[in-house]
Amino acid sequence: MTFLSVYRALSKQYGPQHWWPGDTPFEVMVGAVLTQNTAWSNVEKAITSLKQAKSLTAKKIAAMPAPTLAELIRSAGYFNVKAKRLQNFCNWFLQQGGESALRQWDDASLRHGLLSVNGVGHETADDMMLYAFERPVFVIDAYTRRLFSRLELVTGEEGYEVLRHSFETELSKKIIPGDEQVTLYNEYHALIVIHAKDVCRKKPRCSECCLRRQCPAAE
């Protein structure tokens, strides 16, 4: 079994996901911060509320008082922390000249810049890299770790960067053009999340999640 065969099995079972749901790249970035440890349905409410307040722009978010922003994103949980994180991010974003300026940056610089923002860690930065800036970065999250350690393709003890690197080197062997690479990473991460959700829906609150047995790639 390989990373690629797991992808093919998931893809066959669930079909294309075309993530990330969001009208604009900026909305995707906001969603990446808001979804930290939070059910996506709660994030959607917060984004709707920002839109309703006509405040889903970097300038508006950066300019409003933190408590006001916190109230708007209340449904996403951790609202005080996330309000501050969102403002940190928007300030940085504006300081760099906004999206069009950031698009000119090379992958490494952009990733580094995102990580320099207080409140943006590995996964949030990589969500933004992949789903807002369409850079070839494989997102590692808790599901990814759990799934692949159950499949015994990784131990689960690896650090974030190590894991990301093994996925990227393994998957880049087979796929050639850069554009395809981004599409593959995009779909793969989405499929992992969908699969985890699917399994957990069948057997709610199963701490083991039965991923190994139910994963179509495990057979």
Partner DNA sequence: GTCCAGGGTTCGT
Partner DNA sequence: ACGAACCATGGA
Determine the Cα–Cα distance for residues 118 and 132; give it in Å rounded to an integer. Answer: 19
89 near DNA, rule: CB under 7 A: no
118 near DNA, rule: CB under 7 A: yes
Region of 92-100, 101-109, 165-173, 202-210 interacting with DNA (CB under 7 A): 202-210
> Considering only residues 1, 11, 25, 45, which one is a binding residue for DNA as defined by CB under 7 A?
45
Structure tokens at 140: 């590692």
121 near DNA, rule: CB under 7 A: yes
Determine the Cα–Cα distance for residues 4 and 18; give it in Å rounded to an integer. Answer: 18
The answer to whether the Cα torsion of 106, 110, 111, 113 is positive or negative is positive
Region of 4-12, 17-25, 93-101, 169-177 interacting with DNA (CB under 7 A): 17-25
42 near DNA, rule: CB under 7 A: yes
Segment 125 to 184, residues that bind DNA, using CB under 7 A:
125, 127, 131, 141-143, 159
| Site size for DNA (CB under 7 A) | 45
Residue 30: closest CA among 63, 95, 76, 80:
76
79 near DNA, rule: CB under 7 A: yes
CB of 173 to DNA, least distance (A): 25
Q: Is cis: bond before 105, omega within 30 of 0? A: no
Burial of 82 (0-12, 13-18, 19+ CB in 10 A): buried
> Considering only residues 197, 202, 203, 213, which one is a binding residue for DNA as defined by CB under 7 A?
197
In the chain, what is the straight-line distance between the N-terminal and C-terminal CA atoms, in Å?
10
Residue 44: closest CA among 82, 87, 80, 76:
76
14 near DNA, rule: CB under 7 A: no
Report whether 171 contacts 184 (CB < 8 A).
yes
> Considering only residues 105, 193, 216, 218, which one is a binding residue for DNA as defined by CB under 7 A?
193
> Considering only residues 25, 99, 103, 122, which one is a binding residue for DNA as defined by CB under 7 A?
122
* Amino acid at the residue 7: Y
80 near DNA, rule: CB under 7 A: yes
The answer to whether the Cα torsion of 168, 174, 179, 181 is positive or negative is negative
**Residues at the interface with DNA (CB under 7 A):** 19-21, 31-32, 35-42, 45, 74-82, 117-125, 127, 131, 141-143, 159, 193, 196-197, 200, 204-205, 207
